[in-house]
Structure 1
Amino acid sequence: MTGRFPIEDVSPSVACGRYPAKAVVGELVPVSAVAYREGHDALGCNVVWQGPDGAPRPFTRMRPGEPGRDRWHATIRPDAVGAWSFTVEAFDDPYLTWHHAVSKKLAAGQGVDELANDLAEGAALLAEALDGVPAEDAERVRAAVTALGDADLSLLRRVAPALELADLLWAYPVRRLVTAGETYPVWVDRPRALFSAWYEFFPRSEGAVPATVDAPARSGTFATATARLPAVAAMGFDVLYLPPIHPIGRVNRKGRNNTLVAGPDDVGSPWAIGAAEGGHEAIHPDLGTAADFRDFVGAAAGLGLEIAMDLALQCAPDHPWVTAHPEWFTTRADGSIAYAENPPKKYQDIYPLNFDNDPEGIRAEILRVVLHWVGEGIRIFRVDNPHTKPVDFWHWLITEVKRVEPDVLFLAEAFTRPAMMHGLAKVGFTQSYTYFTWRTSPAEMREYCAELLAAADYMRPNFWPNTPDILPESLQHGGPPMFRIRAVLASLLSPSWGMYAGYELFEHVPRPGAEEYVDSEKFELRPRDWAAAEAQGRSLAPFITRLNEIRRANPALHQLRNLHFHEIDNPALLCWSKRDADTGNTVLVVCSFDSTTVQWGNTTLDMPALGLDWHERFTVHDELTGASYDWGQHNAVRLDPYLQPAHVFTVRTAPVGGTTVAAGQTPAVPGQKDDRWSS
Structure 2
Amino acid sequence: MTETASSGPTHSVLELVGQHPIGRIPVQEVRPAVDGGDRPTKSVVNELFPITATVFREGHDQVNATVVLTDPDGAEHHVRMHLLNPGLDHWGTTIFANRPGIWSYRVEGWSDPYATWHHDAVLKVEAGVDVELMLEEGARVLERSRGEVEHAAETRQRLEESITALRDTGRPVEERLAAGTGLREPLVGAPLRDFVSPSRSYTWWVERPLALHGAWYEMFPRSEGATQDPETGLWTSGTFATAAERLPAIADMGFDVVYLTPIHPIGRTNRKGRNNTLDAQEHDPGSPYAIGAEEGGHDALHPDLGDFDDFDAFVARAEELGLEVAMDLALQAAPDHPWATEHPEFFTTRADGSIAYAENPPKKYQDIYPVNFDNAPDSAYAEVRRIMQVWIDHGVKIFRVDNPHTKPVEFWQWLIADVAVDHPEVIWLAEAFTKPAMMHTLAKVGFQQSYTYYAWRNQVGELTEYVTELSGKTAPFMRPSFWPTTHDILTPYMQYGGPTAFQLRAALAATLVPTYGIYAGYEHCENVARPGAEEQIDNEKYEFKNRRWDLDTEHGGRDEAHGRPNLAPFLKRLNEIRRQHPSLHWLRNITFHSAEDENFLVFSKRGGGAHDGSDSDEIIVVANLDPFAPRATTVHLNMPSLGLGWSERFVAHELLTGAQWDWGEANFVHLGPGSLPVHIIWVRKF
The TM-score with structure 2 as length reference comes to 0.93
Alignment partner, residue 468 of structure 1: 487
Structure 1: how far apart are the matches of 2:670 and 2:152? Answer: 57
- The answer to whether structure 1 residue 128 and structure 2 residue 144 are counterparts is yes
Aligned length: 650
Counterpart-to-counterpart distance in 1, 2:664 and 2:178: 42
Match of 1:546 in 2: 573
Residue 612 of structure 2 is aligned to residue 580 of structure 1: no
1:640 matches 2:680: no
Q: 2:201 aligns with which of 174, 183, 208?
A: 183
- Deviation at residue 75 of structure 1 after TM alignment: 1.6
Find the aligned partners of 2:142 and 2:650 in 1 and give their Cα distance. Answer: 46
Matched, 1:90 2:90: no
TM alignment of 1:78-227, pairs within 5 A: 78-105=97-124, 109-111=126-128, 114-130=130-146, 131-214=149-232, 216-227=234-245
Distance 1:534 1:405 in 2: 42
What is the DSSP-based 3-state SS (H/G/I as helix, E as strand, rest coil) of the residue aligned with 1:53? Answer: coil
The answer on 1:492 being equivalent to 2:511 is yes
**Most deviating of 291-300 and 371-380:** 371-380
Give the deviation of 1:55 after TM superposition.
2.0
Could you tell me how far apart the structure 2 residues matched to 1:343 and 1:622 are?
Answer: 46
Do structure 1's residue 29 and structure 2's residue 49 form an aligned pair?
Answer: yes
> Which stretch has the larger CA shift, 80-89 or 377-386?
80-89
* Separation in 2, partners of 1:118, 1:619: 56
Change (3 A) 1:45 1:498: same
Q: Which residue of 2 aligns with 1:613?
A: 645
Higher mean alpha-carbon deviation, 628-637 vs 484-493, is at 628-637
After superposing the two structures, state which structure 1 stretch, 302-311 or 590-599, moved more: 590-599
Question: Which segment drifts farther, 275-284 or 114-123?
Answer: 114-123
Structure 2 residue identity aligned to 1:72: W
> Mind listing any 5+ residue stretches in structure 2 that lack a counterpart?
1-20
- Check the 8 A contact 1:24/1:193 in 2, yes or no: yes
Which shifted more, 94-103 or 516-525? 94-103
Q: Counterparts of 2:394 and 2:631 in 1: how far apart (Å)?
A: 51
Equivalent pair of 1:426/1:459 in contact (CA under 8 Å): yes
602-611 or 314-323: bigger deviation: 602-611
What is the Cα deviation at residue 152 of structure 1?
Answer: 2.6
Mark the CA change 1:266 to 1:484 in structure 2 (over 3 Å): closer, same or farther: same
Q: Percent identity?
A: 53
Q: Is the 8 A contact 1:236 1:545 kept in 2?
A: yes
Cα distance in 2 between the residues matched to 1:604 and 1:142: 57
In structure 2, distance between residues paired with 1:627 and 1:151: 70
Counterpart selection for 2:434 from 416, 420, 423: 416
Cα deviation 1:18-47 (Å, max 9, x = unaligned): 111111111113211111111121111111
The residue type paired with residue 423 of structure 2 is E
The separation in 1 between residues aligned to 2:232 and 2:450, in whole angstroms, is 45
* 8 Å Cα contact 2:346/2:380 also seen in 1: yes
Give the letter aligned to residue 569 of structure 1.
E
Compute the displacement of 1:187 (Å): 1.0
Report what 1:347 is aligned to. Answer: 365
Equivalent residue in structure 2 for 1:442, among 456, 460, 464: 460
What's the offset of the Cα at 1:215?
Answer: 6.4
* One-letter amino acid matched to 2:586: Q
1:665 alignment partner in structure 2: none
Tell me if structure 2 keeps the 8 A contact 1:47–1:61: yes
Separation in 1 of the partners of 2:482 and 2:173? 64
Shift of 1:625: 1.6
Q: Counterpart of 1:7 in structure 2: which amino acid? A: V
Closer, same or farther in 2 for the Cα pair 1:118/1:80, shift >3 Å? same
Residue 600 of structure 1: aligned partner = 632
Quickly say closer, same or farther: Cα 1:613–1:128, change in 2 above 3 A.
farther
Contact 1:248 1:273 in 2 (8 A): yes
SS at match of 1:65: strand
1:242-641 equivalence runs, <5 A: 242-453=260-471, 454-535=473-554, 536=559, 538-581=565-608, 582-583=613-614, 584-641=616-673
Select 1:15's aligned residue among 35, 43, 49: 35
Which is worse superposed, 132-141 or 31-40?
132-141
Q: Quick one: distance in 1 between partners of 2:551 and 2:599? A: 35
Q: Partners in 2 of 1:643 and 1:144 — Cα distance?
A: 70
Please give the secondary structure, in 1, of the residue aligned with 2:195. Answer: strand
TM-superposed deviation, 1:608: 2.5
1:669 aligned residue: none
1:77 aligns to what? Answer: 96
- Structure 1 unaligned regions, length at least 5: 655-679
Pairwise CA distance, 1:621: 1.2
One-letter amino acid of the counterpart of residue 630, structure 1: D
Structure 1 CA distance, aligned partners of 2:424 and 2:408?
22
Greater mean deviation of Cα atoms: 157-166 or 258-267: 157-166
Equivalent residue letter for 1:585: D
Q: For the residues of structure 2 that align with 1:464 and 1:223, how far apart are their CA atoms?
A: 27
Report the alpha carbon displacement of residue 396 of structure 1 after superposing the two structures with TM: 0.6
Which residue in 2 is equivalent to 1:44? 64
Q: Distance in 1 between matches of 2:365 and 2:422?
A: 35
Q: Answer with 218-227 or 19-28: which moved more.
A: 19-28
Do the aligned partners of residues 100 and 634 (structure 1) sit closer, same or farther apart at CA in structure 2, a change above 3 Å counting? farther
Superimposed CA distance per residue, residues 33-66 of structure 1 (whole angstroms, 9 cap, x where no aligned partner): 111111121111111111122222x211111112
Whole-angstrom CA distance in 1 between matches of 2:347 and 2:378:
14
What RMSD, in angstroms, separates the aligned Cα atoms of the two structures? 1.4
CA contact 1:391–1:424 (8 Å) conserved in 2: yes
Q: Distance in 1 between matches of 2:159 and 2:650?
A: 44
4+ residue segments displaced more than 4 Å: none
Query: Can you list the C-alpha shifts for 1:204-232, whole angstroms capped at 9, x where unaligned?
Result: 10110124433631000000011100000
Q: Deviations over 1:447-494 (max 9, x none)?
A: 111121210000000000010000111111011111111011100000
Native 8 Å contact 1:569 1:601 kept in 2 = yes
Deviation for aligned residue 1:165: 2.1
Higher alpha-carbon deviation: 597-606 or 430-439: 597-606
Whether the aligned pair in 2 keeps the contact of 1:468 and 1:516 (CA below 8 Å) is yes
Deviations 1:281-315 (A, max 9, x none): 10000000000000000000000000000000000
Contact 1:6 1:36 in 2 (8 A): yes
2:582 partner letter: P
Structure 2 partner of 1:677: none
Query: Shift of residue 3 of structure 1?
Result: 1.5
Q: Do the aligned residues in 2 keep the contact of 1:81 with 1:407 (CA within 8 Å)?
A: no
Distance 1:622 1:161 in 2: 55
Q: Give yes or no for contact 2:500–2:672 (8 Å, CA) kept in 1.
A: no
Normalised TM-score (structure 1) = 0.94
Name which of structure 1's ranges 268-277 and 17-26 shifts more when overlaid on structure 2: 17-26
Task: Report the Cα distance in structure 1 between the residues aligned to 2:131 and 2:619, rounded to whole angstroms.
Answer: 53
Secondary structure of the corresponding residue to residue 245 of structure 2: helix
Q: Which moved more, 1:539-548 or 1:591-600?
A: 591-600
Secondary structure, counterpart of 1:49 in structure 2:
strand
Query: Are 2:53 and 2:91, in contact at CA under 8 Å, matched by a contact in 1?
Result: yes
Query: Which residue identity is paired with 1:188?
Result: V
> 2:334 touches 2:367 (CA, 8 Å); kept in 1?
yes
Question: Residue 29 of structure 1 contacts residue 77 of structure 1 at CA under 8 Å; is this kept in 2?
Answer: yes
Q: Which moved more, 1:304-313 or 1:205-214?
A: 205-214
